[in-house]
Amino acid sequence: MSTKYILITGASTGIGYEMARLLAAQKYNLILVARSLQKLSAAKAKLESLNGVSIKIFQKDLATVDGAQSLYHELKAQNLKVNMLINNAGSGVYGNFTDTDLDEELKMIQLNIGSVVTLTKLCLQDMLIQKEGKIMNVASLLSFLPFPYYTVYSATKSFILSFSETLAAELDGSGITVTTLCPGPVDTGFNTEAMWNTNAYKANQPINAAVVARYGVNLLLNGRGKKIVGFNNWFISNLPRVTPDRLMMKIKKNLASQRTQRK
C-alpha cells in the first residue's frame, strides 16, 4: 500500500506551517508547498526529526498560471498519493482600487482562486477513484463581509467560500468532505503596515496563527461545513443580517480606513 500524504500549500510560515506542525505531531505524512526552498527545507528537517514522519517539499509559485498544474504533475511523477488537501496559500492587497497594482492583483487572483480550483479539481479526481479524501480551503472573515480597500481580495475569498460550499453539496454521500476555514485577522507576515494601521485591526486584534491552526486541523480531520474562528468574528460575520446595506458599508469603510497613527 502506498504512503498517504496531506498536501499543504503556503506551508513554510504562518497558518500553513502551524498546521503542518500539528499534523506532523499526530504522525501524518506531509507534502509542503511554498516559494521559499530555504524555509521549506528547515521545516522538513525539524518536523521529520521531531516526529519521525515523511515530509516532501516542493518549491512552487502558485501565483503563476501553470504553478498548480506543474505541482500536480510532479506529484504524479513521484507517485505521491494525496488523500487530504489544504489550500492555504494566499495573498492580499490593500488600498484604493484605482491606485493598487494590477499585476499584483492578477497574481493574487491566480493564487487565491486559480491554484485552489486547479489543485482541488485534480486532487479530487484522484480522491474519487480512491473513494476517500478531505479538502479544506482557507477563506476569510471577509468572505461574509467584503471590505472597501480590500476590493479584489474580498472578492477572491467570497469565491472560495461559495466554491467550497457548493462543491461540498455536490460531493455529499461520496465519502469526501470539503470544508472551509474562515479566520479573521491573523498575526502573520500576510499583514502589511497599512493593514496594521486600519481601524479594523484596532477593533479586532489579529490572533496567533497557532490558534487558527488548531481550529483548522480539527475542521480538516473531524468537521463539516465552515468554521469561523472565534466568537468575535462569528458575531461580526452576522452583522449584515441585521444591518441595512448602506449603513453596513459605511461601517466597513470606516473600519478599513487608516488610523492617524499606529499605537
Active site residues: 153
β partners of residue 181: 138, 227
In the chain, the DSSP E strands lie at 4-9, 30-34, 55-59, 81-87, 133-138, 176-182, 186-187, 207-208, 226-228
Q: Do residues 164 and 137 touch, judged by C-beta distance below 8 A?
A: yes
- CA 97/CA 32 separation, integer angstroms: 33
Measured in degrees and rounded to the nearest 5, phi and psi for residue 137 equal -105, 135
CB-facing half-sphere around the CA of 184: CA atoms within 13 A: 19
Burial profile 97-128: b = 16 or more Cβ within 10 angstroms, e = fewer: eeebeeeebebbbbbbbbbbbbbbebbbebbe
DSSP labels, 48-93: HHHH---EEEEE--TTSTTHHHHHHHHHHHTT-EEEEEEE------
9, 33 contact by CB (below 8 A): yes
- Report d(CA 9, CA 13) in Å as an integer: 10
